[in-house]
Structure 1
Amino acid sequence: MASKKREAILNTAETLFYEYGFHSIGLKRIIAEADVALMTFYNHFSSKEDLVVEVLKKRELYYWNLVRPQNRDSEKWDIDDVMNGHAKWLTEKGDIGCIFLRALEEYRGRSEAIEKLTIDHKQAFMDYLREVLSQNNRSPDLYLRIHTIIEGSTSMAEIIGHEKAIKEARRLLKTIIK
């Protein structure tokens, strides 16, 4: 029962933070929409900052499950596969930008834990792109261009919609990966 309430809080907070930002949403609203008591919240999270960290960890796990194979030893992934996973994420959750960059904007200089988590997430993704490129005998130096294209598709999805952003990202990736 406790884990269901924790998940309700996490899911509610994720939705609200993603749609409205972190600082504009208070604990009272999260608790009310998750339909839990204040004490239930504090049984699972020590603070709002702790909740933000857990929401980001949850989102990170979800994203990693899309952009990399479940069994990394048995499959060789390429940048197209990474883009396919990112496209799925954009289609499902990405029309209003990157929750990690939003967290970094709102918490930079205010929360070392959140700032570190967001930067580590982006760095891990760049490292993963280098790894995928190397495994496919492509120059690992392309990782930053590819990361910029993928990040750009997330940003542009807010403006032009995810379908067009995905299409343009794929087109650009083809020009640098031959």
Structure 2
Amino acid sequence: MPETAAVPSVPAAASAAAASPRERLLETASRLFYAEGIHTVPVDRLVTEAGVTRATFYRHFPAKEDLVVAYLRATDDRLRAAVAETVARGEAARGVSAVLDLIGEVTCAAGFRGCHFINAAAEYPDASDPVREAITDHRAWFQQTVTDLASLAGHPDPAYAGRVLVLLHDGALSAAELDDPETVRTTVRRAGHDLLGLPQPD
């Protein structure tokens, strides 16, 4: 789901001077990894744009992979908070509808470049890698979240509905980078409402 330009990002320049070196590194990694890819961004560029030394980098992150994991964990935290806030604004039974709306907002956001986690998985094929473990944890949370919401919405088979909603999420975040994002947004919302028997959105 939803940070991914695409989701709420690590607070940037407004408090850059006050941010700790670790926070600046995370903000820089979040921006560059998402926009350009992880493997294409070297440590030298990260330290330069974050305004820290290499020694400071390695004090906080013994290896670049540690920063990648921290970036994904921070993205996961922001997405969990965004989903919780979105669901809390509506009735419990319409929580999935709110999440579908959030996915649609993400796909139409400026600077959208797909899903942070799917993008990272493409660069880290080893399922035992700590980066993939962070991705797996995020997806397990999202799967459980939409399954629980489908149950609250009264779907007779919430486990099945949850799996379909994950597929809709993944498809939307992949297709919106290649096709018309507004069409993707309306299609995902319609499909999700059809799945749960909810009234179609305006």
TM-score w.r.t. length of structure 1: 0.87
| Counterpart pick for 1:109 among 115, 123, 126 | 126
Q: What is the aligned length?
A: 177
Alignment partner of 1:128 is 2:159: no
Is the Cα contact below 8 Å between 1:68 and 1:85 reproduced in 2? no
- Given residue 29 of structure 2, which amino acid in structure 1 is its aligned partner? A
Structure 2 CA distance for aligned equivalents of residues 62 and 145 of structure 1: 23
Aligned to 2:48, the other structure's residue is in SS state helix
Is the Cα contact below 8 Å between 1:95 and 1:162 reproduced in 2? no
Match of 2:71 in 1: 55
Match of 2:116 in 1: 99
Shift of 1:57: 0.7
Is the Cα contact below 8 Å between 2:86 and 2:98 reproduced in 1? no
TM-score w.r.t. length of structure 2: 0.78
| Counterpart pick for 1:22 among 38, 42, 45 | 38
Match of 1:177 in 2: 196
Structure 1 CA distance for aligned equivalents of residues 67 and 150 of structure 2: 35
Structure 2 CA distance for aligned equivalents of residues 131 and 88 of structure 1: 22
- CA root-mean-square deviation: 2.4
Query: Mapping of 1:42-81 within 5 angstroms?
Result: 42-69=58-85, 76=92, 78-81=95-98
Is the Cα contact below 8 Å between 1:94 and 1:162 reproduced in 2? no
Could you list the per-position Cα deviations for residues 43-100 of structure 1 after superposition, in whole angstroms to 9, with x for gaps in the alignment?
221210000000001111111122223896x962521011123233334477211111
Structure 2 CA distance for aligned equivalents of residues 26 and 145 of structure 1: 37
Structure 1 CA distance for aligned equivalents of residues 80 and 189 of structure 2: 19
| Counterpart pick for 2:48 among 24, 27, 32 | 32
Consecutive unaligned residues in structure 1, runs of 5 or more: none
Structure 2 CA distance for aligned equivalents of residues 39 and 112 of structure 1: 25
Structure 2 CA distance for aligned equivalents of residues 131 and 93 of structure 1: 30
Aligned to 1:50, the other structure's residue is in SS state helix
Aligned to 1:160, the other structure's residue is in SS state coil
Counting helix residues as a fraction of each chain, which structure ranks higher?
1
- Given residue 60 of structure 2, which amino acid in structure 1 is its aligned partner? H
Distance 1:166 1:70, change over 3 A: closer
Is the Cα contact below 8 Å between 1:90 and 1:162 reproduced in 2? yes
Alignment partner of 1:162 is 2:181: yes
Moved more, 15-24 or 63-72: 63-72
Match of 2:170 in 1: 151
Structure 1 CA distance for aligned equivalents of residues 86 and 23 of structure 2: 23
